[in-house]
Structure 1
Amino acid sequence: MGWSTWSFVRRSPTAAKVMAQADAMKNSGLAAHGYTYVNLDDFFQKCDSNGFVVDGFGRWTVDTAKFPNGIKAVADHVHSLGLKFGLYVTPGIPENAVTKNTPIQGTSFHAKDIADTSKTERNFNCKHMFFIDYSKPGAQEYVNSFANLYASWGVDYLKIDGVGAADIPDVQAWRKALAQTGRPINYALSNNLPIANAQTWVDNANSWRTQGDVECYCSGQPNGVGYPLTRWSSIATRFNSVASWQQFAGPGHWNDYDSLEIGSGDQEIQDITGMNKNDIKRTQITLWSMAAGPLILGTDLTQLTSATPAAGVSTDKTILFNDRIIAVDQDGKAAKRIVNSGGGQVYSKKESDGSFVVALFNTNTSGSMTVSVNWSQVGFSGSGQVTDLWSGNSGGTVANTYSATLRPGETRLIRVVPGSGGGGGSTVEAEAGSIAGAAKVASCSACSGGQKVGFIGNGAANFVTLNVTPSAAGSRTLTIVYTLNGSRSFFVSVNGGTAVEVPLTGTSFATPSTKTITVNLTAGSNSVKFFNNTAFAPDLDKISVN
């Protein structure tokens, strides 16, 4: 999770611009929600008529007009904010290095010893990059010296661009080079990598771009600089990519669907008649999150801290700061497409706690449509307790089939907890409830869904109310999952009735404990309020009704 210069800053990065974006990531609250990397893409280098200007060992040099104190000064600023810094490279060796026959650091070899001057690599800036012949001694050492230079600057993330099947030796060499630096560096490949070589990307990198750029280059300005940054068609092509590449995603190795164009307001999306821009934004981050793909923003983050932000920025904040959506992305699981019919698509993945996350999309550009999915397609049968992850509202207990009527480009993202059948069993996450006063959602790695609700109690205004919907009335067992170090009490009220005190003990706010009580529920929706008017209550993870 983080930000890259390419979409908005594009071809004119400077130290001041990158540091301003890093400051905005920190000060806007993005960092507190997990956004970490500040990545400097292309066009930081110095060029002449023969390509990249090189240092004494044949490596790229920095354009000091843009970065007067070098790259390390920028990385140091980023690190001072508690963030991480990323940089960019492409395969090959510069023509200027070969022309000057620069030595390869730490060896007796030179640039001409390893260059294959019969072929030129793809490069999008200075160009003039020759292939490297990795059968020659000194080739790996050259890449090692490049990686060591970047590590000395404090690089935490490396994007190697212009990569294709012909560059597999470069991909492997850079993997080895990064490893020998001794510095943890996230390794990302770009772009439009062939799926035929997917296992190679998995074996060598942390992420890989599955398609070309999400940017539309449709501003009408030179090189497509400026707004809008993207359009619906550029996002919509990712649906098939998510479905095709799903099998290759896994911990430490992710399919990358390119930048999220959210954070600059409505100007970031090209107008399209009949479609709502906020629907498009929510669909983009929902699809990326269902795929567990990197969430790398491409927008102007200073809009998030501006006293006079562009139209739509306040909505962008609610989208980017929704921790329920972020948790879906960070769960380490890539969803499968289970419905693809007439523009209606559904993706599903099973969470470690046994719940399922399901996303429904209307990918058409006109006309609302009802998108439906059977629970049997998702992976269970019977009924399930539904929570809308965008709003946090309970959808009640839904039997057999779930449907949503969606505008063109709209999405519905739900978490469903399978029930126990006719008895109406259900589980409800605390963070999905109605949270009042000072009570708030907090991270909890051991908790269901990775979150809990804390700061309940110590005043009548601070409480959480959860809705459960059994299929029949009766006496039920309510299991309360909580965290606590010491002794505290919940007061529990069902449907506004007389509250019952539930004294609890625990040994850690990081380790969930359970307590069961008996409650009487009516048919249909029941509200269960957790509070303590005079003292702090435990933190609440979830409740289950059997």
Structure 2
Amino acid sequence: MTLAITPPMCWNSWDCYGTTVTEEEVLANASFMAEHLLPYGWDTVVVDIQWYEPAARAGGYNDAAALELDAFGRQLPAVNRFPSAAGGVGFKNLADKVHGLGLKFGLHIMRGIPRQAVRDGLPVESTDFTADQIADQSSVCDWNTDNFGLDHRHPAAQAYYDSQLRLFAGWGVDFVKADDMLGPYFAAEIAAYQQAISRCGREMALSLSPGRALSLAHLEHLRHNAQMWRVSDDVWDVWEDVEAQFARMARWAPHQRAGAWADADMLPVGRIALRAERGGERLSRLTLDEQRTMMTLWCVSRSPLMLGCDLPSSPPETLPLLTNRHLLEVLNASRNNRELLREGDLVLWTAESTTSEDRFVAVFNTGTADLVRTLPLGDLGLTSGAAGSEASGVHSWRAREAWSGDDAVIGLKDGLPALDVKLPSHSAQLFRFSL
């Protein structure tokens, strides 16, 4: 069975709570998602980094943190933040509650093995070896001190990952975000992690991060080992982060396919940063037009969608961003998605529906001034549906714009049918063309 037939649609605790999310907050967002977003395809709740750190704080990581580990060096939820984990049951009770809402449950994990397990020489489950024997202490993350990498020349290195994934499977985990995997590219770690998933007895989607300077040279290895992978460092609520994803997704979009998705990263919409890593509590600093542009680019390039806001306290205008059925149809039921044109501040993308003869055209204004253009349909890859109609100035295409719901204005330019567009700064329009 192929996992992630369409791009995953998730909520993730990172943008809002950083390292400090609690069980109560996870369940509040899960309940909101089940009621308001599940009918639109949003179906996975992900607990991000350091759920095993009792003293986790906003704004950074504690060096040499004392982690919650079991006797085999595997991370356990911090009970002061996740009280239902008491008694060593891990995330089982929380995952059961999330599943009871009709949702999937996911978690974040760092590459490798906790330094604390290495220091204490904890045994590797089902082996005669200990953590200090399988760690590669020269392989460290440059932004977090929780783990060492694994030495995959040692047979018990794979056994440690196998043991960790068996534990996660027993909890009911459906989705794993494995971090510090891609920058640099740790091919042996990635393959070992996917092998452990395949042995754990439960289907789990694997997401890889962080994606800095990720090369297309790794495409086949990524497709073989993961369902999604980041193509950049973290995206936050500043226009420069969003704009930078245009070029990245133009490179990756032609290679998107079922079960293997290039990921443009988080969607910092709504109310974020209650206890996060970048600034204080706020509504997204992206304007509503910029948030629509971000959603349009992510969907037309078929990136996975990963919400970062506190859903219950986000403003009313957040929900329509996430429930636009025309936009989500492009995400879930389109093909040949590609950048068609980049000319100054104008960027055009196009895609074809997989359920009809319809075509999609996304028009972006990345500049600081209004953009007014008349775009010949032929330049958008749209030919007339009637023989001889172009010569007579008649066309068969009609179109509707997804964000406004308005019919498009299709006029003539040099005697040929053309689409009239007017876009404010940093805005987007998505047109669905039908014959």
Would you say the 8 A contact 2:23–2:81 is kept in 1?
Answer: yes
Matched residue, 1:356: 359
Q: 1:262 to 1:118 in 2, by over 3 A?
A: closer
For 1:358, the aligned partner's letter is: V
Hey, what's the Cα distance between the residues in 1 that align with 2:185 and 2:239? 32
CA positional deviation for 1:334: 6.0
| Counterpart residue number, 2:79 | 64
Counterpart position of 1:211: 232
* Contact 1:93–1:130 under 8 Å retained in 2: yes
Correspondence for 2:15 among 7, 14, 17 = 7
Match of 2:94 among 69, 74, 91: 74
Write the distance in 2 (CA, Å) between the matches of 1:139 and 1:38.
29
Report the CA distance between 1:320 and its aligned residue. 1.7
Task: Give yes or no for the alignment of 1:115 onto 2:125.
Answer: no
1:442: which partner in 2? Answer: none
Asked whether the 8 Å contact 1:250–1:332 carries over to 2, the reply is no
Counterpart-to-counterpart distance in 2, 1:59 and 1:18: 22
Residues 158-237 of structure 1 mapped to structure 2, 5 A cutoff: 158-164=176-182, 165-193=184-212, 194-195=214-215, 196-215=217-236, 230-237=237-244
**2:15 alignment partner, SS class:** coil
Code of the residue aligned with 2:307 in structure 1: it is L
- Please identify which structure carries the higher strand content: 1
SS of the residue aligned with 1:116?
strand
Output the amino acid matched with 2:291.
K
Amino acid at match of 1:173: A
Once the two structures are superposed, what CA deviation does each residue of 1:385-444 show, in whole Å capped at 9, x if it has no partner?
A: 212122333336665432311100111100113xxxxxxxx3xxxxxxxxxxxxxxxxxx
The 8 Å contact of residues 408 and 419 in structure 2, kept in 1 or not, is answered as no
1:324 aligns with 2:342: no
Q: Distance in 2 between matches of 1:328 and 1:3?
A: 20
Contact 2:123-2:129 within 8 A present in 1 as well: yes
Quick one: structure 1 residues 403 and 198, their matched pair in 2 at CA, closer, same or farther if it must change by over 3 Å? farther
Letter in 1 for 2:194: R
**1:27-50 deviation per Cα after TM superposition (whole angstroms, max 9, x unaligned):** 3x1112111111100121136864
Letter in 1 for 2:173: V
Q: How far apart are residue 123 of structure 1 and its match?
A: 5.3
Which residue in the other structure is 1:22 paired with?
30
Q: Take 1:49 and 1:33, find their aligned partners in 2: how far apart are those partners?
A: 41
Measured after TM superposition, the shift of residue 214 of structure 1 is 1.1
Which of 256, 261, 266 does residue 263 from structure 2 map onto? 256
Equivalence for 1:387: 400
CA distance in 2, matches of 1:110, 1:407: 60
Shift of 1:62: 2.1
1:117 Cα deviation (Å)? 2.0
Counterpart residue type for residue 324 of structure 2: N
With CA pairs under 8 Å and 6+ residues apart, which has the higher RCO, 1 or 2?
Answer: 2
Once the two structures are superposed, the pairs formed by residues 291-330 of structure 1 within 5 Å of their partners are: 291-303=301-313, 313-330=315-332
TM-score, normalised relative to structure 2: 0.84
Partners of 1:144 and 1:177 within 8 A in 2:
yes
State which drifts further: 234-243 or 162-171.
162-171
* Partners of 1:132 and 1:361 in 2: CA distance: 44
SS of the residue 1:299 aligns to: coil
Tell me, what secondary structure is at the counterpart of 1:108?
A: coil
Q: Do the aligned partners of residues 74 and 290 (structure 1) sit closer, same or farther apart at CA in structure 2, a change above 3 Å counting?
A: same
Distance 1:385 1:8, change over 3 A: same
Amino acid at match of 2:239: W
Q: 1:81 to 1:131 in 2, by over 3 A?
A: same
Deviation for aligned residue 1:371 = 4.1
Identity, % of aligned pairs? 28
Please tell me the residue identity of whatever aligns with 1:94. P
Distance 1:56 1:209, change over 3 A: same
String of CA shifts for 1:494-518, please: whole Å, max 9, x gaps.
Answer: xxxxxxxxxxxxxxxxxxxxxxxxx
**Tell me, what secondary structure is at the counterpart of 2:31?**
helix
Distance of 2:307 and 2:143 partners within structure 1: 23
CA contact (8 A) 1:288 1:295 kept: yes
- The 1-side partners of 2:147 and 2:190 are apart by 16
After superposition, what is the alpha-carbon deviation per residue over 1:222-250, rounded to whole angstroms, capped at 9, x for unaligned? xxxxxxxx122221111111111113211
**What SS does the aligned partner of 2:326 have?**
helix
Question: Does structure 2 retain, via aligned residues, the 8 Å contact 1:290–1:334?
Answer: no
| Alpha-carbon distance in structure 2 between the residues aligned to 1:171 and 1:186 | 13
Task: Say which of 6, 14, 31 aligns to 2:38.
Answer: 31
CA distance in 2: counterparts of 1:301 and 1:131, whole angstroms: 35
- For 2:342, the equivalent position in structure 1 comes to 340
C-alpha separation in 2, matches of 1:379 and 1:208 = 30
CA–CA separation in structure 2 for the residues paired with 1:332 and 1:57: 46
Contact persistence 1:362–1:371 (CA under 8 A): no
Distance 1:49 1:412, change over 3 A: closer
**How big is each residue's C-alpha offset from its partner over 1:281-327, in whole Å with a ceiling of 9 and x where there is no partner?**
111111111011112111110125xxxxxxxx222222222211111
Cα distance in 2 for partners of 1:118, 1:367 equals: 50
1:138 aligns with: 156
- Rounded to whole Å, the distance in 1 between the matches of 2:373 and 2:169 is 49
Higher-Rg structure is 1
The 1:60–1:377 alpha-carbon spacing in structure 2 relative to 1, beyond 3 Å, is: same
* Distance in 2 of aligned mates of 1:237 and 1:326: 22
Q: Could you say if the C-alpha distance between residues 381 and 333 of structure 1 is closer, same or farther in structure 2, counting changes exceeding 3 Å?
A: closer
Distance in structure 2 (CA, Å) of the matches to 1:301 and 1:119:
37
SS in 1 for 2:285: coil
Match of 1:238, SS?
helix
Unaligned runs of 5+ in 1: 216-229, 272-276, 305-312, 418-425, 427-546
Alignment check: 8 A CA contact 1:155 1:185 kept: yes
What secondary structure sits across from 2:233 in the alignment? coil
CA contact (8 A) 2:348 2:363 kept: yes
CA contact (8 A) 2:253 2:302 kept: no
Count of matched residue positions in the alignment of Structure 1 and Structure 2: 387
What is the CA–CA distance in structure 1 between the aligned matches of 2:202 and 2:192, rounded to whole Å? 16
Deviation at 1:11, TM superposition (A): 2.4
Mapping of residues 395-434 of structure 1, within 5 Å: 395=408, 399-417=416-434, 426=435
Secondary structure in 1 matching 2:167 = helix
Paired with 1:62 and 1:379, the residues of 2 have a C-alpha distance of 52
